Amino acid sequence: MSRRRIGQEAFGFAVGRHGASSLDDLTGLIDWAPVDQALVVISCAAKGEPAWPPLALFKAMLLSTCRT
């Protein structure tokens, strides 16, 4: 089964003067390639809708644990 193709989203409420949010700044600080390679072994089901990329789910999990 295939995986969804998604891109980096921008949050309109978080966009600063430079047109980028703090999440965009954070993306530039972390080399996500090794994390993506470690997560690529996670397989998706043979049926159903395309799966979300494991890296996107990992990033969402990190965001859910952040406290401000």
Helix intervals (H) in the chain: 22-29, 33-39, 54-65
pTM: 0.61
Domain residue ranges of the chain, discontinuous segments joined by +: 12-65
pLDDT tens for each residue of 55-65:
888 888 888 88
Buried b (16+ CB within 10 A) or exposed e, 1-27: eeeeeeeeeeeeeeeeeeeebeebeee
CA distances from 64 to 45, 59, 68 (A): 25, 9, 11
Tell me the average pLDDT across 34-50: 84
pLDDT tens for each residue of 1-16:
566 666 655 555 555 5
